[in-house]
Amino acid sequence: MDTMLDPTVLQTLWFALIAFFFLGYFVLEGFDFGVQMNVAAFWRRGVGARGTVLKTIGPVWDGNEVWVITGGALLFAAFPEWYATLFSGFYLALLLLLLVLIVRVCAFKWREKHDSDRWRTSWDVVHVIGGFAPALLWGVAFSNIVAGVAIDEHHWVTTSLLGLLNPFALLGGLVFVLLFWLHGTLYLTLKVDGPLREASHRLAGVLVWPTIVAGAAYLLWFQLAHSNSWLTLIPVAIAAVALVAVVPLGRARREGLAFIATTTAITAATISLFGGLFPYVMPASNDPANSLTVANASSTEHTLTVMLVALAILMPIVIAYTIWTYRVFRHRITDEDSPAPGAGLVEKAKQSYRDAFEQG
């Protein structure tokens, strides 16, 4: 077998770890994006209702972003060739994504700085954009990665920005938007009560159908045209079953199980995309000889070994902290005047911080 298509165990493990961090990001930040999209869905319910929707992710959204930050850093260190080639062709798209995520942070931090409906409404518009645009851009970017782009002999992407907006990539962007929107809507059924909870149930019942149709078309297209393994049919089937299961679970008001179903669908879809991409990391659509593979894009074995030791120490801490955070902020918000979940604990921590500085 060609050595460029025959990675070592360590290289394969690091490819799987990169996939794991992006999987965690899509599952956790996916419902954040969906909740922000629902600011538009519940727009007519007023500023107070939109604030209640945003409170459900207020304590956790920034922690969810850690997964992509860590994944990007690990990608840079473990597969520098992949990272460099990716940015050579996706720079403008990724810069736009970064700008949207930065403005999104401002929306979370500044929305409540003034007691003005006009002020909050302006930031609510930013929240809607901050939920929709990243989901769309991630879908377009990942679809181009797995489908392949034109790469020259120097490993520079030569596909133009308009070339990235091909039918498969646009369908991928649509699927990411729909799936994250559905995921976030089901998250709201677990986090709010009263009229907003009922509205979320109804919206989820509507969203699930286009998500099933678009998701099935996208994953089958990927499997038939771009996947490098028929084994990825297994996660594709799991994703399909999970999405279809949302329909009866939603009707039975099994909110937790319905949310687990969309979590399973996102997990299975991510596994199918990364699994179908392997052993490549960026296939060249113009000349297979220019493709980047797990073997030829990675750092040295020594670097991968040192990083693996560090990750083995730090990753359990990150996972434990994530689990603890969601346990602390697990409570429902009953109305627009309710504090964000865990607000008392947050305020206590802030007061301790102030007291520490005053004593100093």
Q: Which two tokens stand for residue 337?
A: 């005047």
Q: Is the dihedral of CA 78, 81, 87, 90 positive or negative?
A: negative
Rounded to 10 degrees, what is the CA torsion of 138, 144, 150, 153? 70
Compute the distance between CA of residue 314 and CA of residue 250 in angstroms, rounded to an integer.
38
Whether 337 shows a pLDDT value over 80: the answer reads: no
pLDDT digits (tens, 9 = 90+) for 252-295: 999 999 999 999 999 999 999 999 999 999 999 999 999 999 99
SS3 157: strand
What is the pTM (predicted TM-score) of this model?
A: 0.91
What count of Cα atoms within 13 Å lies in the side-chain half-sphere of residue 24? 21
Give 165's contacts (C-beta < 8 A, 6+ positions apart).
140
Compute the distance between CA of residue 74 and CA of residue 115 in angstroms, rounded to an integer.
42
Whether 351 shows a pLDDT value over 70: the answer reads: no
Residues facing 333 on adjacent strands: 192
Task: Compute the C-alpha angle 142/147/151, nearest 5°.
Answer: 100
Question: DSSP class of residue 44?
Answer: G
pLDDT at 359: 53
What Rg value do the Cα atoms of the chain yield, rounded?
21
SS3 203: helix
Q: Which two tokens stand for residue 194?
A: 């009263």
The identity of residue 267, as a single letter, is T
Q: Which residue has the tokens 């020259």?
A: 152
Q: Which two tokens stand for residue 272?
A: 């199918």
Whether 243 shows a pLDDT value over 60: the answer reads: yes
User: Could you tell me the pLDDT band of residue 251, with boundaries at 50, 70 and 90?
Assistant: very high
Compute the distance between CA of residue 127 and CA of residue 103 in angstroms, rounded to an integer.
9
Compute the distance between CA of residue 297 and CA of residue 144 in angstroms, rounded to an integer.
18
Tell me the C-alpha to C-alpha distance, in Å, between residue 288 and each of 142, 234, 235, 296: 19, 26, 26, 13
pLDDT digits (tens, 9 = 90+) for 158-171: 988 889 999 999 99
Compute the distance between CA of residue 112 and CA of residue 119 in angstroms, rounded to an integer.
9
Contact (CB, 8 A) for 253 and 197 = no
The identity of residue 301, as a single letter, is E
Maximum distance among all Cα pairs of the chain, rounded to whole angstroms: 67
Of 94, 173, 155, 154, nearest to 280 by C-alpha is 155
Whether 328 shows a pLDDT value over 90: the answer reads: no
User: Could you tell me the pLDDT band of residue 1, with boundaries at 50, 70 and 90?
Assistant: very low
pLDDT digits (tens, 9 = 90+) for 62-94: 889 989 999 999 999 999 999 999 998 888 888
> Percent of the chain having pLDDT more than 90?
75
First-residue to last-residue Cα distance in the chain: 66
Share the mean pLDDT of the chain. Answer: 90
Count of other CB atoms within 10 angstroms of residue 126: 19
pLDDT at 265: 97
Whether 360 shows a pLDDT value over 80: the answer reads: no
pLDDT digits (tens, 9 = 90+) for 125-154: 999 999 999 999 999 999 999 999 999 998
SS3 149: strand
Q: Which two tokens stand for residue 89?
A: 């062709």
Whether 358 shows a pLDDT value over 80: the answer reads: no
Give 117's contacts (C-beta < 8 A, 6+ positions apart).
47
Contact (CB, 8 A) for 283 and 143 = no
Count of other CB atoms within 10 angstroms of residue 239: 25
Q: 107-121, 122-136, 238-252, 294-308: which has the minimum mean pLDDT? A: 107-121
